[in-house]
Amino acid sequence: MGVIIVTKNQIINNARKQGRTTLTEIESKLVFEGAGVTTIETRLASSQKEAIALSDQIGFPVVLKVASPDISHKSDAGGVRVGLKSKVEVGKAYREIMASARQKYPTANIEGVSVQSLARPGIEIIMGMFQDSQFGPVLMFGLGGILVEVLKDVSFRIVPLARRDAREMIEEIKGYPLLQGFRGQEPANIPYLEDLLLKISDFVEQTPEIKEIDLNPIFAYKDGAVVVDARIVLEEVASQQS
């Protein structure tokens, strides 16, 4: 059918050629899809007309987010619009996002907006990775969304993870009862989350050029989980001395 498969190495090499260490949201999601991690479908629209057309293809309601390698905190830039239900709303949101982003980040390279379907609400969790100077890559798990900033309810393990490590990471956060279905709410699929942590651990082991990973939020359900937003930061390349 002529589908073009873009590999992890192609995406990373392309960013390197452009002098970037931060992959875009769409690039990051493509990389994780290649690692077997389910992400919400996300497409790039470089114009208002394209944003409207893609929204119609994906199906309403949709979410628009500013697409720029120079803007990591999209909400702070006024760069996020959620639950858009029509072409008119999408057109208006595109104009507002672009105007706000250009005002707050006048020197940023803005590629347009990412268009994605509105994910079914679930328990918001975060998974991430950072490079520790002593221990190497360390994985993080916790409650996601703004809760991670407010509560800092997270656990850590050194890569590589065994299944027992993944299970302990999940069980030791204070918010674990929420994942079990607190007061009649839909529980998360704990074995699925364990598998997700193990996939990320394997991915990190196989991709030493990655400095930082931020998957937040991930919506966890009783039948699985989906990554709603993703960010990958690459290690700086040491300049070659001639």
CB atoms within 10 A of CB 177: 11
CATH number of 123-234: 3.30.470.20
Rg (CA), the chain: 18
User: Would you place residue 1 in the very low, low, confident or very high pLDDT band (cuts 50, 70, 90)?
Assistant: very low
pLDDT at 209 over 60: yes
Picking from 93-97, 159-163, 210-214, 234-238, which range would have the lowest pLDDT averaged per residue? 234-238
Q: If you average pLDDT over every residue of the chain, what do you get?
A: 92
Q: What percent of the chain has pLDDT over 70?
A: 94
- Supply the pTM of this predicted model: 0.89
What are the extents of the domains in the chain?
A: 44-118, 123-234
CATH 2.60.120.10 is held by the domain 44-118 = no
Mean local confidence (pLDDT), 137-154:
84
Phi-psi region of 83 (alpha: psi -120 to 50; beta: other; left: phi over 0): left
Task: With beta carbons less than 8 A apart as the criterion, state whether 71 and 109 touch.
Answer: no
In the structure encoding, which two tokens stand for residue 86, read together?
């029509």
Q: What percent of the chain has pLDDT over 90?
A: 82
Mean local confidence (pLDDT), 88-105:
96
